[in-house]
Chains A and B, each alone.
Chain A
Amino acid sequence: MSIQTNSVEIGKSNKRKYLLEKISSKLFLICALLSVISLLLIIGFVFYKGSHPFIVEGYSFIDFIFGTDWVPSEDKFGIFPMIVASILATIGALIIGVPVGLFTAIFLAEIASKRLAKIISPAIQLLAGIPSVLYGVFGLAIIVPFLQNTFGLVKGQSLLAVILVLAIMMLPTIVTVAETAIRAVPNTYREGSLALGVSQIGTIFKVVVPAAKSGIMTAIVLGLGRAIGETMAVILVAGNSLIVPTSLTDSVRPLTTNIALEMGYAAGTHQEMLFATGIVLFSFILILNFVLAKISAKGGN
């Protein structure tokens, strides 16, 4: 008798447990879907708004991409200078940021003593946490005047200033991801190489870095993504001129900056063209993600 009641009680409390289980798994699912829905909404909205002028209003997409004039008041929407500025700024930042970031990661993972690494690593991670507007302010207050004085420019805001700021901004991403990849290389590789009488630097460049290749590529692509999408810091140091840059000291206006600067007052076709700029920007990011997926699939093999 008492056993029976016991089992009934247990059955009851289990029922509650199963219900709770069901509810919570649904709750988690909803949370997970929320981010997917947001993504789809943003993409949908940007593409809907951005494609409108080309589908409905008869603007040429080719002219939009390759046109060199952006004069909304005269109905001229060409973003070629901005595309060039974005690409050049990103490549420039990579040329500076990748070697510095990679060498920093190698130093932290392979060469620095544990004590030193414990000081430098958090400093670099903190660099990632600094709001981007502060990078811009730093660039405006230090880098821009520096360039102005060194090269005798009328205006220090330039492609070079953008490159320098972006290079610093991509460092934490590259360093952190590359360091993790390098640390993940099995110690037996290092021992095998050192035991053959190969120097530490030789070991790092011939064995450790090649073994961490896919992780390092991931680091570079993530850094690239960070650079191409950066807006706030860039606005402050780019100068925002609408020309196709021909030298490092030219004032430029990358894609992100164009959207941020004009969205506040734009309306109608002008506004839609800014969304279209967003599509181009988004395509860049999409390509990067595709490359990233390729790299990690290769690394997995």
Chain B
Amino acid sequence: MSTAVMERSESLVKEENLTVKVQSEMRSKIEKASKIAVKDLNLFYGEKQALYGVSLDIREKEVTALIGPSGCGKSTFLRTLNRMNDLIDGVKITGDIIIDSENIYKNNDVIKLRTKVGMVFQKPNLFPMSIYDNVAYGPRMQGIKNKKELNKIVEESLRGAAIWDEVKDRLKSSALGLSGGQQQRICIARAIAMKPDVILMDEPTSALDPISTLKVEELITNMKKDYTIVIVTHNMQQAARISDKTAFFLNGEVVEFDDTDIIFSTPRDQRTEDYVTGRFG
């Protein structure tokens, strides 16, 4: 009897291996081109090391979620992608980040990098100006003065952020009078206005109510066709809902990086499983 059971389970394992193999083959066929390649990235705040040998391959027009407990380095990592960490004194970085075959830490044109890699922050951080001026701010600073062109960019960006209908009648009123969720979508519109390739989002919904969160999530899913999105989130359901790939960070290391459904169903690493099942974090 025992041999029969053994045989049966062996064949099951084989079958399973087979399906995994087929799945991964299918995946590699539809796999998109690499957009951001991170190789052995280490980051130090002064003496303290915050990221340890991070290597990730972020693909074009996908949503990549970064999850992990507080202080695991996921936001720090996100901010290396558009060099926002440069603003902090005493940050030292080794390793390579290559975006579209350009090493962003070798090339010193940070301004160009940041127009290409936009960012949306944890709390909506609109400027104390009108809605229109907020969205037109970036293009204006790039030297676009033509009123018609600016109008077009503002409308397109607001439509792109699915908030045009809500604000089209009050573009000239202060952006700070909007609700938090609306403000965050204007922030996304402001980022879109620069026509970036990549949009980084640092817990964009953590300050929002559930309905606003849903709207922003829908928006992110829709934006995927035009942009490569990297999103840090505390909310694992959110990562499961909206992302294609998920990276699990722990203590400054990437523990596991794979398709989102694999991370949330059959992770390879015990720590990943413990985290996604809510055993810690």
By a beta-carbon cutoff of 8 Å, the part of chain A in contact with chain B is 113-114, 186, 188-199, 202, 206-207, 210-211
Contact status A195-B127, CB under 8 Å: no
Chain B residues numbered 134-175 whose CB sits less than 8 Å from any CB in chain A:
137-138, 141-142
For residue B26, CB closer than 8 A to chain A, the reply is: no
Which residues on the A side are within 8 Å of B112 (C-beta)? 197
Closest Cβ neighbor of A198 among chain B residues:
B141
Interface segment, one of B47-55, B66-74, B116-124, B269-277: B116-124
Contact status B123-A196, CB under 8 Å: no
Other-chain contact of A197, B87, B115, B123, B125 (Cβ < 8 Å): B115
Which residues on the A side are within 8 Å of B191 (C-beta)? 195-196
Contact status A192-B128, CB under 8 Å: no
List 4 A-B pairs, minimum CB-CB distance, nearest first: A197-B115, A188-B125, A197-B114, A195-B119
Contact pattern, B 177-218, Cβ under 8 Å of A = 1, otherwise 0: 000000000010011001000000000000000000000000
- A207–B134 CA distance with the chains assembled, in angstroms: 10
A contact face: mostly helix, strand, loop, or mixed: helix
Given the interface contacts A188-B125, A189-B125, does A194 sit within 8 Å of B141 by beta carbon? no
Contact status B126-A196, CB under 8 Å: no
Contact status B138-A196, CB under 8 Å: yes
Which residues on the A side are within 8 Å of B119 (C-beta)? 191, 195
Contact status A197-B126, CB under 8 Å: no
Which residues on the B side are within 8 Å of A206 (C-beta)? 137, 141
Contact status B89-A114, CB under 8 Å: yes
Given the interface contacts A192-B121, A202-B141, does A197 sit within 8 Å of B194 by beta carbon? yes
Contact status A197-B113, CB under 8 Å: yes
Which residues on the A side are within 8 Å of B129 (C-beta)? 210
For residue B111, CB closer than 8 A to chain A, the reply is: yes
Closest Cβ neighbor of B133 among chain A residues:
A206
Question: Would you list 16 pairs from A and B whose C-beta atoms are within 8 A, ordered by A residue?
Answer: A186-B125, A188-B123, A189-B125, A189-B127, A191-B125, A192-B126, A192-B187, A192-B190, A193-B127, A194-B87, A196-B118, A197-B111, A197-B112, A197-B114, A202-B141, A206-B141
Which residues on the A side are within 8 Å of B138 (C-beta)? 196-198
- A114–B88 CA distance with the chains assembled, in angstroms: 12
Contact status A196-B190, CB under 8 Å: yes
The smallest beta-carbon distance between B62 and chain A, in angstroms, is 21
- A270–B146 CA distance with the chains assembled, in angstroms: 64
Given the interface contacts A188-B123, A193-B137, does A198 sit within 8 Å of B128 by beta carbon? no
Contact status A196-B121, CB under 8 Å: no
Which residues on the B side are within 8 Å of A191 (C-beta)? 84, 87, 119, 121, 125
For residue B233, CB closer than 8 A to chain A, the reply is: no
- A141–B127 CA distance with the chains assembled, in angstroms: 49
Which residues on the B side are within 8 Å of A195 (C-beta)? 82, 84, 114, 118-119, 121, 191
Given the interface contacts A191-B84, A191-B121, A206-B141, does A196 sit within 8 Å of B194 by beta carbon? yes
- A113–B115 CA distance with the chains assembled, in angstroms: 26
- A197–B125 CA distance with the chains assembled, in angstroms: 15
Closest Cβ neighbor of A202 among chain B residues:
B141
Which residues on the B side are within 8 Å of A193 (C-beta)? 127, 137
The smallest beta-carbon distance between A173 and chain B, in angstroms, is 25
Which residues on the B side are within 8 Å of A188 (C-beta)? 121, 123, 125
Which residues on the A side are within 8 Å of B125 (C-beta)? 186, 188-189, 191-192
Which residues on the B side are within 8 Å of A196 (C-beta)? 114-115, 118, 137-138, 141, 190-191, 194
Contact status A194-B127, CB under 8 Å: no
Closest Cβ neighbor of A188 among chain B residues:
B125
Closest Cβ neighbor of B114 among chain A residues:
A197
- A114–B89 CA distance with the chains assembled, in angstroms: 9
The smallest beta-carbon distance between B227 and chain A, in angstroms, is 15
Which residues on the A side are within 8 Å of B113 (C-beta)? 197
The smallest beta-carbon distance between A175 and chain B, in angstroms, is 23
The smallest beta-carbon distance between B180 and chain A, in angstroms, is 13
Closest Cβ neighbor of B200 among chain A residues:
A195
Contact status B115-A194, CB under 8 Å: no
- A206–B121 CA distance with the chains assembled, in angstroms: 20
Which residues on the B side are within 8 Å of A194 (C-beta)? 84, 87, 114
The smallest beta-carbon distance between A239 and chain B, in angstroms, is 47
The smallest beta-carbon distance between A256 and chain B, in angstroms, is 39
- A178–B129 CA distance with the chains assembled, in angstroms: 21
Other-chain contact of B127, A113, A192, A197 (Cβ < 8 Å): A192
- A206–B127 CA distance with the chains assembled, in angstroms: 10
- A199–B127 CA distance with the chains assembled, in angstroms: 16
Which residues on the A side are within 8 Å of B126 (C-beta)? 192
- A225–B69 CA distance with the chains assembled, in angstroms: 54
Which residues on the B side are within 8 Å of A198 (C-beta)? 111, 137-138, 141
Contact status B128-A211, CB under 8 Å: yes
- A193–B138 CA distance with the chains assembled, in angstroms: 8
